[in-house]
Amino acid sequence: MRKVMQSEWKPFSELKTVQQSISELGYKKEYIEKHKLEETKIFHCCNTITGVINFFEPLEVKKEGGEIFWRYNEARVSMDIPETFETQFGIFNNHNHGEFPSWLGKDDYEGLPEKEKEIHRLFGRSDFFLYGNYCDMFDCGEYVYAISNLTHMGSGKFKILRIDKNLTALEMYDNYSGKDHTHLEYAGRFPSAAGYVVIAGGIRETECKEHKSGFQKIALLFTIDENGNCSISNEWNISISSVNSMAALGDHVYFGQNKMVSRMNILSGEIEFFTNKTDEEISTLTAVL
């Protein structure tokens, strides 16, 4: 069995800048054969005609002591999805099954046999039940916020719910409830002076000539304050995708991604890309499709 590779944490300053995102790029066939990458790398996606393969090579980020650090970590392909969330209103159980029926619940099945517990779970028999693919939950002021995000097959369903002390849920944002036509992927959150900032990135469908659809890159910043308000505070036409971790420092947020780290200025939307790849590796990277 192949060992999952992981490096030591290193200062962000050790990474080198690249001109564009290389997260979705793959290696040419000749380079793969020369360096036997199929024996050492985790497969992501490929083009069977050209032989170009994109491997999972995740760079993870964290903030510690007022500095940003990174490491190569093949175990961090995507954001972690907790099985439980601890909040000011108690513990919520996360039944996130991806494309299959998923929900958030506060289950109370004490004393029931295991089979009966499963029946209760399947039919939502709990004192609290919300459909959705929940990936994060946090306290802010007198409320708890829950974020649901289904990314299977590019669906990009993204929703923010506010829950009060009576466990009444109010929808604050849902990209599938109106005419927004966005496909979003949760990128993380960080505390702010008002409460929290939540970040999501993806694409927006745009109408082109002859009724054909086009796509525009998009990043949304949501501000959630301690009074229970949630609004889109910034919107930019930039790409944030396949995030496995996020760290905030000053006016910048850092996203751990495949082959690189992105740094975004939350005031201007300016984004830069950094990598640990050598010049030789970068020169052989090309689009998979």
pLDDT of residue 151: 78
Q: Is residue 110 part of a domain?
A: yes
- C-beta separation of 123 from 134 below 8 A: no
Q: Is residue 3 part of a domain?
A: no
Q: Is residue 1 part of a domain?
A: no
Statement: residue 198 has pLDDT above 80: yes
| Residue 2: band (very low, low, confident or very high) from pLDDT cuts 50, 70, 90 | low
Cα Rg of the chain, angstroms = 21
d(CA 161, CA 87): 14
Q: Is residue 192 part of a domain?
A: yes
d(CA 157, CA 96): 14
Q: Is residue 212 part of a domain?
A: yes
d(CA 189, CA 248): 9
Q: Please, what is the Cα angle at 200 between 218 and 235, to 5 degrees?
A: 45
For residue 261, with 0-12 CB atoms within 10 Å meaning exposed, 13-18 middle and 19 or more buried, which class applies? buried
Domain span including residue 249: 10-287
Q: Is residue 260 part of a domain?
A: yes
Question: What integer best gives the mean pLDDT of the chain?
Answer: 89
Q: How many domains does the chain have?
A: 1
| Residue 123: band (very low, low, confident or very high) from pLDDT cuts 50, 70, 90 | low
Q: Count other C-beta atoms under 10 Å from residue 206's C-beta.
A: 11
pLDDT of residue 105: 84
Reported pTM: 0.88
pLDDT of residue 160: 97
State percent of the chain over pLDDT 70.
88
Q: Is residue 5 part of a domain?
A: no
Q: Is residue 37 part of a domain?
A: yes
